[in-house]
Structure 1
Amino acid sequence: MKKLILSMILVGATSLAFGQKKVVRSAEKNFKSGDLATAMSEIEAAIANPETSSDPATYLLKAKIQLKMFGTDSTNTMETLAKGEASLATFNETFEMAGSNKEEGVGKEIYEGDILGVPDNLRPYSLETLKNVSYDKALERYNEGEMDMAYEFFNLSSEIDKTDTLSNYNAAFIANDLGRFEDAKKHLNYLLEVPDYNGKINVYYMLIPILSTEEKNPEAAYETVTRARAEFPEEKTFAEFEIQLLLQLNKMDEAMAQIQEALKTDPNNTSILLRSGYLKEKSGDIDGALADYKKSVEVDPNFYEGNYYAGALMLEKSRSILAELNSLPDDEWEKRSKSMGEEANQYYTDAIPYFEKALELRPDDTDIMSILYQVHVILKNDAEAEKYNKKLIELLGPNWMDR
């Protein structure tokens, strides 16, 4: 009698297990036919049953059903994204259950290569399929101008494969454009970790300004630009970035050393000449600074900053001469006023063409117009002064001097 009861129990258990496997087979059939709601209901029931809940293949089928739900949802909203994220989570859970082995069994199925362009029923519905479907959705949203959702789908694609350079670059580009700088940094750093990626120069060009300008973190930016220079020593712009960051960090001696080194190989680099002049001006070498500013304009007559800084420094030299003259005792003033006045006026005169060129480059700059007006008043060039006065009245109103 005991044997009979035991046999009945075993038969019952076998029937139950067989029944649950039948549910899994039914779920797979409905998955293939496209009845995804029924397939999901069945696979959830199989997962809830102890007889089939420990089988990684059961969870793999769930991940595939979730993936197909994701792919067939053409609304491409946050709700769509949640389906893709759920599929990814199930794939990851399944892989861990299967022993995290990509070489055989369920783990090999999870990482099976996707076959693009074949009928749907021949796709493996693997992690790579999920990545490709997410990428396609990102492109669809991008083409529709839905940048936030385009980012989310590119991000999902990149999280599936952090070495996917297209997904990461697109995600970084969009995130940066949206002002999502932390997200942009994440993808840019992923790209820097891809050994053979040939677009790293562009990655650094995007990452350094995020760190220095948007996050106001010159230390991190300097560390990054140092890395960039080590990888791309021929890229001259990185040298300019490094000098600018050294200036931000108030490391004047190091900045000047880098400037001198950079000018040895690139003596006509206007940006570096400008920074050299700035450092010399800060250190009190006014003549040296003026020479650098002038050279930058000789190299490129349309270099706005070079023109403006050269003109401004000439005005400063004029003011210094006049301040020195006014501090002299009366008898000394009588002796030197003519020569020093002429010297100051010459600097005012020499500054005019630099400011005129700067105004030519930025024709609506009322600050430069005001400077030119004042210089011409000092030099008693009445017609020229009135010309700028009329422009300023036209742009700022009759009380522009009170501004």
Structure 2
Amino acid sequence: MKKTFLTLAAAVFLAAGLPETASAQNSAVTNAILNQRTGLLDKARTDIDKAIVNEKTSGKAKTWYTRGEIYQAMLESPIYSKQLQEGEGVKKAYESYYKTIELDTKTGEFGKQAVVKMEGLYGRAFNDAVNSYNAKDYDKAIAGYKLASQINPKDTTAVLYSAFASEAKQDYAGAKASYNQLLGMNYKSVTLYTRLFQMAKTEKNDAEAAKILKEALAAYPNNKAFMLEDLNMTLAGGNKEDAINKINKSIASDPTNSNLYAVRGSMYDQQKKGDLALADYRKAVELDPNNFDAQFNLAVYNYNRAADAYTKASKMDLKTYQASGKKMEAEGKKYFEASVPYFEKALQLQPNDRNTLSSLQKVYFRLGRTADSERLNAKLQSLK
């Protein structure tokens, strides 16, 4: 009997000791839950932080779900939120719910609850990022927007704002990455393409700029700004025929744009299509009398016609000159006179433009307006 008693006593002792060891860590989770329910969130936090690093409880969905609830409760508490670093509550709650789903799946007892809880963190993460941005703490803002994007991967707003924050920080590589992420999410906007294009131009990456512009025009074929940029790149490339086609399309889209007519007129001028050039210059001035380029080009058009007439007269032999030279010079004078109001308007718009001053000075001289010619010559000398 004695031997049996001792054996039983030992068994009772061991049985009493085993639950103490095995449940020690489980009790940390239980204590965390109890402290959370009684509002002692600081103690709940201490308990749950111990539980997630212990090998017996760190692999359990309940542990991580409880941790998420505790940090979220602290985040929403006017008292305990002060014990958290900026952004810490959202980050740790999200990590906890994410780990819960990873361990339990979205259909498990804790996993399905974690899905709902995690969705509620998006607004908090986004607002924290906005506050950081407004405080010009762009690194925290970017981190906050990226966290919001992780919480709701289908949302484009956080990604877009992350791009804005990267640009504010002058991190153009980061901004481009966010903009391209948006394109991958099938998000398109004029602003997105405009910023990508401008960054490519700033980097002098013409190939990249051309690629972006092509995509932008595919998405927004009638956007005036994109059409003009495309035209400018075509003009810079020297493809005149293609440029004419593009500028015609631009004018069709924006028929009251004075600059478009001025540019097309200049292109026609280069192609020796004088009548078409003259019509475009006149249309440009009609639409905007303060268009310097159009006024100057109209003046130059008449100036060149006058110069051609005088040059022809100067090359005539005596007999030919006697027959038609004076008439040719009179025609030249008429064109010089026609150039004056356009040169004068151009000079009014840009008083120190040397080309305008020099050309008008010569016209005044040819027309016998000596005082005006000397006045402009003096101004030219003063600009040297």
TM (norm. structure 1) is 0.67
- Alignment partner of 1:377 out of 344, 357, 361: 361
- Alignment partner of 1:157 out of 123, 138, 148: 148
Give 2:121's aligned amino acid.
L
Q: What residue in structure 1 maps to residue 342 of structure 2? A: 351
- Alignment partner of 2:103 out of 83, 87, 97: 97
Is the Cα contact below 8 Å between 1:175 and 1:181 reproduced in 2? Answer: yes
Cα offset for 1:58? 1.8
Q: Distance in 1 between matches of 2:239 and 2:11?
A: 85
Unpaired segments ≥5 residues, structure 2:
none
Q: How many residues align?
A: 365
The answer to whether the aligner puts 1:56 opposite 2:61 as a matched pair is yes
* SS of residue paired to 1:105: coil
TM (norm. structure 2) is 0.70
Give 1:61's aligned amino acid.
T
Is the Cα contact below 8 Å between 1:243 and 1:255 reproduced in 2? Answer: yes
Across the aligned residues of Structure 1 and Structure 2, the Cα RMSD in angstroms comes to: 4.7
Is the Cα contact below 8 Å between 1:66 and 1:83 reproduced in 2? Answer: yes
* SS of residue paired to 1:243: helix
Is the Cα contact below 8 Å between 1:372 and 1:388 reproduced in 2? Answer: no
* SS of residue paired to 1:111: helix
Is the Cα contact below 8 Å between 2:266 and 2:297 reproduced in 1? Answer: no
**Distance change (3 Å), C-alpha of 1:324 and 1:62:** farther
Cα offset for 1:50? 1.9
The answer to whether the aligner puts 1:208 opposite 2:192 as a matched pair is no
Unpaired segments ≥5 residues, structure 1:
113-125, 360-364, 394-398
**Distance change (3 Å), C-alpha of 1:252 and 1:46:** farther
Give 2:361's aligned amino acid.
V
Kindly report which structure 2 residues correspond to 1:155-304, keeping only aligned pairs within 5 A, or say none.
155-192=146-183, 200-211=189-200, 213-248=201-236, 251-264=239-252, 266-277=254-265, 279-280=267-268, 285=273, 288-289=276-277, 291-302=279-290, 304=291
Q: Distance in 2 between matches of 1:217 and 1:190?
A: 20
Cα offset for 1:175? 4.0
**Distance change (3 Å), C-alpha of 1:149 and 1:11:** same
**Distance change (3 Å), C-alpha of 1:234 and 1:341:** closer
Q: Distance in 2 between matches of 1:290 and 1:224?
A: 35
